[in-house]
Amino acid sequence: MTTRYAVIGTGHRAQMYMNAIAGDHAEVADLVALIDINPGRAAWHRDQHAAFQEAVLAAPEDLEDVIREQRVDRVIVTSIDRCHAEHVVRALEAGADVVVEKPLTIDAPSARAIEEAARRTGREVVVTFNYRYSPRNSALREVIASGRIGTPVSMVFEWVLDTSHGADYFRRWHRDKTNSGGLFIHKASHHFDLASWWLDAVPSRVYARGGLRFYGEDNARERGQELGAERGTHDGEHTPFELDLRGDERLRALYLEQEQHDGYRRDQSVFGAGITTEDNLTAIVDFDSRAVLTYALNAHSPWEGYRVHVNGTEGRAELEVVERAEVIPTDDGSKVVDPSAVRVETGAQVRAEGERLIVQRHFEAAEEVEIVQGEGSHGGGDALMLAEVFRGRQHDPLGRAADWTDGLRAISVGICGNESLATGAPVEVTDFLGIDLRAAAAAAAERSAGAPAAPEGAAQQALESDGARA
């Protein structure tokens, strides 16, 4: 028996799920509907696979009707971040389970609406944190959980996005913070999820600093830099910061040829007006375990990767990853935007691509921990995650599968970080979010063990009354 799926939001991120439904998991999954404000993008995805030819195309306002008429079991939410909460809540209330891309949502009112909907309906909400499944991140989890470095007391976590991948968040809808919650939520929810998962702890207080320091019109003018074209798709010479949609067949078909429907431009200038998302962010995060995280994100680095240093009561673990050693413009203007999803080898001599996990206990020599790679994107992590999404949770001592309570824990840092940026003060997570994360996780675990669901109906009203409807 197959599970019947609808996908809402048919941009770039939906592709991974559609390939999985048409490919490795075709015998257990059936795509019956594609929902988007842009009918051209939905139709393009439908046409990529013969198995999808009977899928219904619909608009977001028809979500409940689609769930009912097509007997949808699960809705995959890959819409714009600010719409996640509305789509999750409406799907749950209409009787479907949900698989939602990170971030779960972008602000406190909509987080509370999802928490209430999940609690009242008792339905399943899976959040897809594929970074947990990456072999290097799983290896660090194993090291910490084994007790080799004792009890973790502090973590230093730095993530740098390069001038290809980092710049891409300032070309598209993410550049407007009201759409994404900024990189503190859209991108860093991955990182804060990893930190909470590695530490097996819940964030309790956040202090943050940061701002827009490199991208944007004002910063470019201050440096005396020419602003260039309004978009990257144009004739003539291009700068390394431009993306010409005509140079990638998929981007051309999915975005450039669909602008007629909604006017959305995927290739805006990273030095244009209207950018409100920060490109440099730092945070100090207290956890309920008494561990402290020091975090930094930069979105205009000349190389891409991350460093995680965990100090424990019996030693230290260090994970260092270089996903792309340098960004060198090509003659034809082509580029790999995300080097974590598509392997890149630059041949750099000083800083080479690769990863290394070192553990050193007190009074002992350092040891390197082997990281066993899998096949495919994110070191095979995406395939492992998709197998659990479509075939159910497997026995996993690392606990990589994530639900809505994990999603809340991840976004709580960014939500409180944004408030700290605005006020200049530390923010208490439970007070500002309005949710006790530890209690929510315990209650969800109890319900999944067989407790009856509460009556349905109030969560959508809560979302609307909070003014958070996307």
pLDDT category of residue 1 using cuts at 50, 70 and 90: confident
Whole-angstrom distance, CA of residue 38 vs CA of residue 99? 21
Q: Residue 380: its pLDDT value, please?
A: 74
Tens-place pLDDT, residues 155-177: 999 999 999 999 999 999 999 99
Q: How far apart are CA 246 and CA 257, in angstroms?
A: 10
What pLDDT, on a 0 to 100 scale, did the predictor assign at position 153? 98
pLDDT at res. 395: 87
* Mean pLDDT, residues 325-343: 69
Whether 81 and 111 have beta carbons less than 8 Å apart is answered as no
Mean pLDDT, residues 78-86: 98
Q: Would you tell me how many other CB atoms lie within 10 Å of the CB of residue 454?
A: 13
pLDDT at position 341: 52
CA distance 442 to 127: 17
Residue 232: burial class (beta carbons within 10 Å; 0-12, 13-18, 19+): buried
Q: What is the pTM of this model?
A: 0.91
Contacts of 25 (CB under 8 A, 6+ apart): 386, 387, 390, 391
pLDDT value of position 441? 87
pLDDT for 443 equals: 82
470 and 434 in contact (C-beta within 8 Å)? no
Cβ(221)–Cβ(210) below 8 Å:
no
Kindly report the backbone phi and psi dihedral angles of residue 286, in degrees, each rounded to the nearest multiple of 5, phi listed first: -90, 140
pLDDT at residue 84 tops 50: yes
Name the β-bridge partners of 228: none
Residue 334 pLDDT: 56
pLDDT surpassing 60 at residue 450: no
Token match 């920060």: residue?
A: 278
Q: pLDDT at position 350, please?
A: 87
Helix (H) or strand (E) holding 461: helix 458-465
Rounded mean pLDDT of 262-266? 96
Of 301, 295, 300, nearest to 322 by C-alpha is: 301
> How does pLDDT run across 297-321, given as a tens digit for each residue?
999 999 999 999 999 999 999 999 9
Return the higher-pLDDT residue of 330 and 198: 198
